[in-house]
Every structure is written in C-alpha cells, then in structure tokens.
Structure 1
Amino acid sequence: MPHLVILYTPDLEADADMTALCRALADTMLTVTDEAGQPVFPTGGVRVLAYPAAHCAVADGSSDFGFAYFHLRMGRGRSAEVKQRAGEALAAAAKAQLAPLLARRHVGLTLQIDEGPEVFDAKFGNLHPLFSKAP
C-alpha cells in the first residue's frame, strides 16, 4: 500500500494517455512528504492501476460525457495534513495531465482517499527489498 486505482469510461482512452497519467500520479505520490520531510509512501509500495469500465452510463447521455474515478487507499497513521497534501498533489497532477482532454470535452473527475482499518493485511513478495536502505 498505497494503491491508487483509476476507474474510467473507456472512451477516454482515445483522448488521454492513461499510461502517462499512471506514471505522473505515481511520481507525484513519491514526492509527498510528511511534517519531518520524510517520504509518505514507500517506493516499493506505490501502485497506480487504471481500468476502463466494461459498462457505463454518465449523466443524462445527451452528449459524449466521460468520467474518471481516482481512489487512493492508504494505511493508517498519517496526519490529516499529510492526507490533505497528498490529495491536493494528486488532484493537481491529474488536472495537469488531463488538461488537453478537459479542453476538448466534458469529463467528470473524482478523487477520494481512504484508509484502513484493515481486518487482514498480508504483504508478501519480493518488491519492497529492492528499495530498502539496508546494506
């Protein structure tokens, strides 16, 4: 964790580079720091995944409306200020990356952040050790 999942109307793929959006958001997550200036999100834990909706309906259907929902899930323990800062940074990055799309058509964008309480949390695999600072 943290995981940022983007669910979007599939018509956006013709007008937006979703891979570049994912990379921009992941890079943004890596720049967020806490009150002590330390990174908020561990490099090996940052994941941004984007999925087109298999089925969708947006607004009243009277036009070619698009939509993207950004959902960041993070573990507990970060201050309200850090969560606010992360949300603002991600929203700014998404707006910047999607500015050409928004200049051409109407698209609704929603970004939400939530955090555990997890009832079960297992982390396994071999990605995190690549980014540990231990010798």
Structure 2
Amino acid sequence: MPHLVLLYTADLEHQADIPGLCRALADSMLEQRDETGKAVFPTGGTRVLAYPAAHSAVADGQGNYGFLYANLRMASGRSAAVHKAVGDNLLSVLRQRLQPILDQRPVGITLQVDESHNQVYDGKHSSLHPLFNKNT
C-alpha cells in the first residue's frame, strides 16, 4: 500500500502518455511528507496501475467525452491534512499532465482517496520492501 488505480475511457490511451502519467503520479506520491517531515508512503509499497475501460458510456453520448477515475487506497493512520495535501497534489499532477487533452475536448477527472478502516484480511508478501529498507 498505497495503490493508486486509474480507470479511463480507452480513447485517452491514444492521446495521453499513460506510462508517463503513472510515473509522475508515483513520483508525486513518493515526494509527499507528513507534518513531521516523514515520507507518507513507503517506496517499495507505492504502486500506480492504469487500465483503459474496454467499454464505456460517458454523459449523453452526444460528444467526444473522455473520463479518468483515480482511486488512491492507503492504510489508515494519516491525518486529514495529509489526506488533503496528497489528494490536492495528485489532482494537480493529473490536471497538468492531461491539460493538452482538456484543452481539446471535454474530459472528466475524478480522484478519490480511501483509507482502509475495516479490513477483514490484509495479506502481503513482497520482495520489493527489502530493496528499500536496507538502512532502516
């Protein structure tokens, strides 16, 4: 954790640099700091995954409409100020990276940040974390 999942209308695939967007979002997540200056997200746990929707219907279907939904899921325990700062920063990256498309046609962007409060199972296995936790 954290996992940022992007789901978007497939037509955006041809207009946007989706791999570059994923990297920019991940870098933004890794730059986030809490009130004490500590990194908000662990390097080895930070993931951004993007999926074009195989099928979609946006608004009334009468225009060349696009849509991107982003959902950040993170473990609980961070302050409301951190939630807002992370959300504002990620939305800014999305807007900046998609601005050329937004200037050409209507595209909706939604970002939601969720905290895992009532987990009933949280199984993990990773060989990534040890790569970044050598000095801790």
TM tier relative to shorter chain: over 0.9
- Which 4+ residue blocks in structure 1 deviate beyond 6 angstroms? none
- Taking the aligned partners of 1:83 and 1:127, their CA distance within structure 2 comes to 25
Give the match for residue 36 of structure 2. 36
In structure 2, what is the Cα distance between the partners aligned to 1:119 and 1:81? Answer: 27
Report the Cα offset of residue 14 of structure 1: 1.2
User: What is the correspondence of 1:17-28 to structure 2 with a 5 Å cutoff?
Assistant: 17-28=17-28
Q: Which moved more, 1:116-125 or 1:37-46?
A: 116-125
| Distance (whole Å) between structure 2 residues aligned to residue 107 and residue 42 of structure 1 | 31
Q: Secondary structure at the match of 1:109?
A: strand
**Which residue type is aligned with residue 98 of structure 2?**
L
> How many angstroms apart in 1 are the aligned matches of 2:123 and 2:33?
25
- CA distance in structure 2 between the aligned counterparts of 1:133 and 1:84, rounded to whole angstroms: 30
SS of alignment partner, residue 119 of structure 1: coil
TM-score (norm 1): 0.97
Superposed, which structure 2 residues align to 1:29-68 within 5 Å?
29-68=29-68
In the aligned structure 1, how far is the partner of 2:135 from the partner of 2:13? Answer: 41
Which residue number corresponds to residue 131 of structure 1?
132
Using structure 2 for the length normalisation, give the TM-score.
0.96
Which 5+ residue runs of structure 2 have no aligned equivalent?
none
Q: SS where residue 98 of structure 2 aligns?
A: helix
The Cα of 1:125 is off from its aligned counterpart by: 2.0
Describe the superposition over 1:72-107 as per-residue Cα deviations: whole angstroms up to 9, x where unpaired.
000000000001000000000111111111111110
Q: Distance in 1 between matches of 2:90 and 2:134?
A: 26
Aligned residues between the structures: 135
Letter in 1 for 2:126: G
In structure 1, the gaps of 5 or more residues are: none
Q: What is the deviation of 1:123?
A: 1.4
2:85 maps to what in 1?
A: 85
Task: Report the equivalent of 2:121.
Answer: 120
CA distance in 2, matches of 1:72, 1:104: 27
State the Cα distance separating 1:36 from its structure 2 match. Answer: 0.3
**CA root-mean-square deviation:** 0.9
What amino acid is aligned across from residue 119 of structure 1 in structure 2?
V
